[in-house]
Structure 1
């Protein structure tokens, strides 16, 4: 079974709420849903990085060594568009992450990673 790239979008206490102003959270989710299945999660416990998006590799990407990529502070339309473009190109393990997205990437603790 060839699973596609999947996107997890945190939408709880800080992410997706009024604490992060100037972001159309629904439009962001809808834009990402145009390129991959999107799962809405509860708090991922990295509130200081709100809005948090995790891009999970496809089966092919995982077979090529791709691992989930955590992106924080995704608070503008351009960042969501950069994520959509990377996912369209194949995402983790298949397409190199655009340099601009490296500015958003971070490594959460093992405990936090286990939530996704």
Structure 2
């Protein structure tokens, strides 16, 4: 998973009601060591901040799954839904829950459908 943390994403000035450090720490605590959570500089979809990208596992990627981009990841409930989906297999393995469909950034690579 890649979590954008640059000009807008992770910005207390833009999203003062969000504890951005706690959000990132929570993702790492919930997913490690099974999944790597890394940060990135601007992913160039600032209007959708906070942005994170869930990458498919190697086998799913080889089978055609693509990363899924999420925007407006501000509420703890969205973060929890993402964690559950990643733990279930993520792109190419687990069906994208309806609760997360609203957070998918249109026009980005999406590999949400289960393969097989």
TM-score (norm 2): 0.83
- Tell me whether 1:98 sits opposite 2:97 in the alignment: yes
Looking at secondary structure, tell me which structure has more strand per residue.
Answer: 1
CA–CA distance in 2 between the matches of 1:109 and 1:95? Answer: 19
Q: Report the CA distance between 1:80 and its aligned residue.
A: 0.3
In structure 2, the gaps of 5 or more residues are 110-116
CA–CA distance in 1 between the matches of 2:15 and 2:58? Answer: 33
Q: Where do 4+ consecutive residues of structure 1 move more than 2 Å?
A: 107-110
Match of 2:2 in 1: 8
Match of 2:11 in 1: 17
CA–CA distance in 1 between the matches of 2:108 and 2:3? Answer: 18
Q: Report the CA distance between 1:60 and its aligned residue.
A: 2.0
Instruction: Check whether the contact 1:15–1:47 (CA below 8 A) recurs between aligned residues.
Output: yes
Q: Encode CA deviations 1:51-107: one digit per residue, 9 max, x unaligned.
A: 000000011221332110000000010000000000000100010111111000013
CA–CA distance in 2 between the matches of 1:9 and 1:67? Answer: 16
TM-score (norm 1): 0.83
DSSP 3-state at the match of 2:83: helix
Range that drifts further, 20-29 or 7-16: 20-29
